[in-house]
Structure 1
Amino acid sequence: MTRRATITTTHGDDERAARVAAALRPDNTDEMETTADGETVRTTIEREGTGGLHATVDDYVVNLRIADQLTDTTQS
C-alpha cells in the first residue's frame, strides 16, 4: 500500500516561494513532486512503507528549512 504525505508551507511572497521550490527540486526523488503556487510551496511524497515515508519527510523538512533560510532576502 502506498503512503502519501503532503507538506504545504507559505513563504511571504511569490518570488521567494518559487526560489524555495527551485532549491528543493534537485533533491527530490522520483516519488516526490514540489510545486510553487503564489506564496505557497507544496511537496507530495509517496512511499511504499511508513518507515520510508517518515525518513523522507524528515530529510525534506531539513532541506526545506535550509532552502527557506538561504532564500530569505531580509536577513543580513
Structure 2
Amino acid sequence: MRTATIETTHDDAALVAAALSPDNTSEMETTVEDGRVVTRIERETTSGLQSTVDDYVVNVGVAEQVVQTANQPANHNT
C-alpha cells in the first residue's frame, strides 16, 4: 500500500475541509488538526497515489478560492 499525507493551512480550515470531503474516496480521510487540513491517502499503486494526490491538490486550490469568495462582503450596487 502506498500512502501520502498532505497538510495545508487555511484561514478557515474547517470550511475548506468540508468543501473537500464530498470528493474524498474510501481511500482518503480528511481531518482538521490545529487549524490545518490534513488528508491521508492510501492507494495500491504509486501511479494511483500520484493521480489521486494531483487531483486533490487541484481540489484544495478550488476549495480555498470558494471559501475566500464566500467570506468576502457582498458588493451590492444600489
TM-score in terms of structure 2 length: 0.85
Return the match for 1:30 from 26, 29, 36.
26
1:48 alignment partner in structure 2: 44
Q: Distance in 2 between matches of 1:43 and 1:37?
A: 10
Q: Which runs of 4+ in 1 moved over 2 A?
A: 73-76
Q: How many residues align?
A: 72
Paired letter, 1:63? N
The structure that has the greater radius of gyration is 2
Identity %: 58
Post-superposition Cα deviations, 1:30-68, rounded to whole Å, max 9, x if no partner, equal 000000123200000000000000000000000000001
Q: CA RMSD in A?
A: 1.5
TM-score in terms of structure 1 length: 0.88
Q: Distance in 1 between matches of 2:65 and 2:34?
A: 18
Are 1:11 and 2:10 counterparts?
A: yes
* Gaps in structure 2 of 5+ consecutive residues: none
